[in-house]
Amino acid sequence: LEGLSEAGWIEHFARFEPLPGSFPQPLALRYHGHQFRAYNPEIGDGRGFLFAQLRDLEDDRLLDLGTKGSGTTPYSRQGDGRLTLKGGLREILATEMLEALGVYTSKTLSLVETGEALIRGDEPSPTRSSVMVRLSHSHIRIGTFQRLAAHGLLDGIRQLTEHCIAHFWPLAAEAEDPAVGLYDAVTGAVARMGAEWFAAGFVHGVLNTDNVNITGESFDYGPWRFLDRFDPAFTAAYFDQTGLYCFARQPEALNWNLARFGECLIPISSQEAIAPVFESFAERFQTDLARQTFARLGLLPGNPDEARTLMHRFWGAMQASAPPFQQVFHDLLGGGLPERLRASPIRATFETAAWAEAIEGLRELPKAPGLDAALAHPYARRPEPATMVIGEVEAIWSAIDAEDDWRPLALKLDAIREAGEFNRRLGLLAGPNGRPDHVPL
Q: Does a structural domain hold residue 125?
A: yes
- Percent of the chain topping pLDDT 90: 82
Residue 123, pLDDT above cutoff 90: no
CA distance 329 to 269: 43
Q: Which amino acid is at 227?
A: L
Q: Does a structural domain hold residue 411?
A: no
Question: Cα–Cα distances in Å, from 9 out to 18, 49, 118?
Answer: 11, 17, 23
38-57 pLDDT, tens per residue? 999 999 998 999 988 888 77
Q: Which amino acid is at 300?
A: L
Query: How large is the average pLDDT for residues 308-337?
Result: 97
Q: Which domain holds residue 63?
A: 6-136
Q: Does a structural domain hold residue 17?
A: yes
Residue 59, pLDDT above cutoff 70: yes
What is the overall mean pLDDT for the chain? 93
Contacts of 298 (CB under 8 A, 6+ apart): 333, 334, 335, 367, 368, 370, 371, 374, 375, 426, 427
Query: How large is the average pLDDT for residues 104-122?
Result: 91
Question: Cα–Cα distances in Å, from 335 out to 329, 414, 430, 440?
Answer: 9, 27, 22, 35
Q: Does a structural domain hold residue 151?
A: no
N- to C-terminal Cα separation, the chain: 40
Q: Which of 30-34, 47-51, 248-252, 404-408 has the lowest mean pLDDT?
A: 47-51
Does 210 qualify as catalytic in the annotation? yes
pLDDT at 267: 98
Contacts of 397 (CB under 8 A, 6+ apart): 86, 89
CA distance 85 to 46: 17
Catalytic residue among 45, 64, 184, 210: 210
Could you give phi then psi for residue 188, rounded to 5 degrees? -65, -40
Q: Does a structural domain hold residue 365?
A: no
Q: Helix/strand/coil (H, E, C) string of the chain?
A: CCCCCHHHHHHHHCCCCCCCCCCCCCECCEEEEEECCEEEEEEECCCCCEEEEEECCCCCCEEEEEEECCCCCCCCCCCCCCEEHHHHHHHHHHHHHHHHCCCCECEEEEEEEEEEEECCCCCCCCEEEEEEEEEECCCCEHHHHHHHHHCCCHHHHHHHHHHHHHHCCHHHHHCCCHHHHHHHHHHHHHHHHHHHHHHHCEECCCCCHHHCECCCCECCCCCCEECCECCCCCCCCCCCCCCCCCHHHHHHHHHHHHHHHHHHHHHHCCHHHHHHHHHCHHHHHHHHHHHHHHHHCCECCCCHHHHHHHHHHHHHHHHHHCCEHHHHHHHCHHHHCHHHHHHCCCHHHHHCHHHHHHHHHHCCCCECCCHHHHHCCHHHHCCCCCCCCHHHHHHHHHHHHHHCCCHHHHHHHHHHHHHHHHHHHHCCCCCHHHCCCCCCC
Q: Which of 22, 40, 9, 28 is nearest to 67 (CA)?
A: 28
pLDDT at 439: 39
CA distance 15 to 204: 30
Q: Does a structural domain hold residue 271?
A: no
Cβ neighbours around 121 below 10 Å, total: 5
Q: Does a structural domain hold residue 416?
A: no
Residue 19, pLDDT above cutoff 80: no
- Count the domains in the chain: 1
352-381 pLDDT, tens per residue? 999 999 999 999 999 999 999 999 999 999
Q: What is the CA radius of gyration of the chain?
A: 22
170-199 pLDDT, tens per residue? 999 999 999 999 999 999 999 999 999 999
Q: Which residues partner with 44 through β-bridges?
A: 30
Q: Does a structural domain hold residue 369?
A: no
CA distance 381 to 62: 38
Most distant CA atoms of the chain, gap in Å: 64
In a 13 Å sphere around the CA of 330, the CA atoms on its Cβ side amount to 23
pLDDT at 56: 76
Do the Cβ atoms of 234 and 204 come closer than 8 Å?
A: no
